[in-house]
Structure 1
Amino acid sequence: MGQEIAESLGVLLRRTTRTQLHRRLTEGMGEALDETTYPVLSALARTGPRSAADLAPEVGIDRSGVTRRASRLEEAGLVRREPDPGDRRAQLLVLTEQGRQAVAELRTRLADRIADALAGWPPGEAEAFARHLHRFTTDGPFG
């Protein structure tokens, strides 16, 4: 059973799997919001304001990659930069109201895709899966 779960997680965690999903989720949301900038926007929504250096490990790319993607999001009005009150030399990346609205739309799109994928499951199985997945990610081997 552990091997089967490990193989399934491998599919979910592959960069190509995530990239394909992010591409589908961001379709029609503007040139600045695509499969490359989605992780930065999503991470800011999860973590709150962060410097590019602090956001880099969360996103899985280096600081300069975060900076480039954040610049695209800033030009589109989804992110703004603010001085870091804890470090005068640093800038924090902050979601704008437009950025928060984009994140809400993306989360709705993702939830709808998941619901569609589970729609054919027998009654109760999707709910059980959600409970067990939550338990696995909070109590499992990731902590």
Structure 2
Amino acid sequence: MDNEIGQEIADALGILLKRTTRAHLHQRLTEGMGEAVDDVTYPVLSALARTGPRSAADLAHDVGVDRSGVTRRASRLETAGLIRREPDPTDRRAHLLVLTEEGRLVVAELRARLADHITTSLSSWPPGEAETFARHLRRFTAEGPFV
């Protein structure tokens, strides 16, 4: 395999990973979800759904903002009843951010919206091509350079 394929994939990933690309997608997904759920708080909800309870400091790395940024976003989500804070059993000074049942329902809705958006964008692909892409993308994320 030549290096051109690697460069082509790197260029495509660069577009996908741009903060503006993610923010635009998050805006579309969160439209009409309520005041607390927007492109700024979406990454916190999504990360908590993927990882389970985490401290703001631990979540900061996954979300791409500092601890105080996560804390501000978490406060909005807590006020809306989508997350709660619980004492960290391993550190009495810290708290864990935990999705509430309502938060899990919101995340399920957001994931359904994302899946619908992706499915719609792939609807013009030839039969079987989207399935092949999904299979290869899963393999790439499991075995590729990000492991």
TM-score of the pair, normalised by structure 1: 0.99
Aligned-partner residue type, residue 18 of structure 1: R
**Deviation, structure 1 residue 2:** 1.0
- TM superposition outliers: structure 1 runs of 4+ over 3 Å: none
Separation of aligned partners in 1, 2:53 and 2:93: 15
Q: Aligned letter for 1:99? A: G
Residue matched to 2:46: 42
Unaligned stretches of 5+ residues in structure 1: none
Which residue does 1:106 correspond to in 2?
110
Tell me how far 1:59 sits from its aligned partner: 0.7
1:81 maps to 85
- Structure 1 residues 1-143: aligned runs within 5 Å: 1-143=5-147
What one-letter code is carried by the residue in structure 1 that aligns with 2:73?
Answer: R
Cα displacement string for residues 48-90 of structure 1 (whole angstroms, at most 9, x for unaligned residues): 0000001101111100000000000000000100111111110
- Name the aligned partner's letter for residue 61 of structure 2: P
For residues 116 and 123 of structure 1, the distance between their equivalents in structure 2, rounded to whole angstroms, comes to: 14
Give me the whole-angstrom Cα distance separating, in 2, the residues matched to 1:54 and 1:141: 23
CA distance in 1, matches of 2:50, 2:6: 29
- Letter of the aligned partner of 1:31 in structure 2? E
Q: Distance in 2 between matches of 1:25 and 1:4?
A: 27
Structure 2, unpaired ranges of 5+: none
Matched letter for residue 140 of structure 1? G
Count of aligned positions: 143
Percent of residue pairs identical: 77
* TM value normalised by structure 2: 0.96
**Take 1:58 and 1:142, find their aligned partners in 2: how far apart are those partners?**
14
Q: What's the Cα RMSD here?
A: 0.5
